């Protein structure tokens, strides 16, 4: 099978038994794992959604509708990408859903290529989002280990100031600045100034 080393499962929420089963079959054929749910409430009962996954959701369902489920997930802080399945005439509803943050929608009956491409994109998006998030958290954690003096030196480095200038501003010798600089690069696990700057940006965007 293609793409074997994929991340978390694709969650499918659809009230139609056959459609649910067929989707699982198709997704598994493409190397994804799938978890299926017949109704929104059942899906909401899942204690922890796996990271790096996405949700395929039928717009029209008895009980809680797809749109309502989307709202509920957003309320719970989920960032999983949602792909809506729509039927003829549901397009305006689907457009609203996308405006409110759904990843995309696809009209039934659909081409498998298109659905799988959407799933792939959604998973990539989610993976990228998670990676970014992880990077940000790491940056914050590492920045927190710096001493106040090291912090001051870091700010000057990021501002593009030379060691001499930094030493003048902080009232310390150039040697001391160089020592702080070496220490903080070590603490932050970076080898170059470029890496250092990126880590600081990550750390800032996480706050």
Minimum separation from the CB atom of position 71 to another protein (A): 23
CB closer to another protein, 18 vs 45 = 18
Q: Which of 48, 75, 76, 88 binds another protein (CB under 8 A)?
A: 88
CB closer to another protein, 1 vs 45 = 1
Contact 173, 110 (CB under 8 A): no
Contact 170, 177 (CB under 8 A): yes
- Tell me if 28 contacts another protein by CB under 8 A: yes
- Tell me if 108 contacts another protein by CB under 8 A: yes
CB closer to another protein, 92 vs 171 = 92
- Tell me if 159 contacts another protein by CB under 8 A: no
Taking CB under 8 A as the binding criterion, the range among 17-25, 45-53, 132-140, 152-160 that sits at the site for another protein is 17-25
Sign, Cα dihedral of 191, 193, 196, 202: negative
- Tell me if 26 contacts another protein by CB under 8 A: yes
Contact 153, 166 (CB under 8 A): yes
Q: Is 88 left (phi over 0), alpha (psi -120 to 50) or beta?
A: beta
Give the Cα separation of 38 and 28 in Å (integer). 18
DSSP 171: T
Minimum separation from the CB atom of position 81 to another protein (A): 20
CB closer to another protein, 3 vs 101 = 3
- Tell me if 5 contacts another protein by CB under 8 A: no
Give the Cα separation of 37 and 12 in Å (integer). 6
- Tell me if 16 contacts another protein by CB under 8 A: yes
- Tell me if 114 contacts another protein by CB under 8 A: no
Residue 131, both tokens: 């990676």
What SS3 string covers 26-42? HHHHCCCCEEEECCHHH
Q: Give the number of other Cβ atoms within 10 Å of residue 173's Cβ.
A: 11
Minimum separation from the CB atom of position 95 to another protein (A): 13
Residues that bind another protein (CB under 8 A): 1-2, 16, 18-19, 21-23, 25-26, 28-30, 60, 87-89, 108-112
């Amino acid at each position: 099978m293609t793409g074997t080393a994929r991340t978390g499962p694709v969650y499918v929420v659809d009230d139609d038994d056959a459609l649910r089963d067929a989707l699982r079959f198709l997704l598994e054929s493409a190397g994804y794992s799938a978890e299926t749910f017949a109704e929104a409430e059942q899906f909401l009962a899942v204690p922890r959604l796996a990271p790096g996954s996405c949700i395929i959701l039928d717009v029209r369902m008895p009980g809680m509708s797809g749109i309502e489920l989307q709202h509920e997930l957003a309320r719970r802080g989920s960032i999983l990408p949602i792909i809506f399945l729509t039927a003829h005439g549901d397009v305006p509803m689907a457009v609203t859903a996308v405006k409110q943050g759904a990843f995309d929608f696809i009209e039934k009956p659909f081409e498998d290529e298109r659905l799988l491409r959407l799933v792939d994109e959604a998973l990539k998006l989610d993976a990228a989002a998670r990676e970014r998030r992880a990077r940000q958290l790491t940056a914050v954690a590492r920045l927190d280990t710096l001493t106040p003096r090291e912090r001051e030196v870091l700010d000057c480095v990021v501002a593009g100031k030379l060691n001499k200038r930094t030493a003048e501003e902080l009232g310390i010798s150039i040697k001391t600045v160089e020592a702080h600089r070496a220490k903080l690069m070590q603490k932050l696990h970076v080898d170059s100034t470029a890496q250092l700057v990126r880590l600081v940006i990550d750390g800032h965007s996480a706050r």
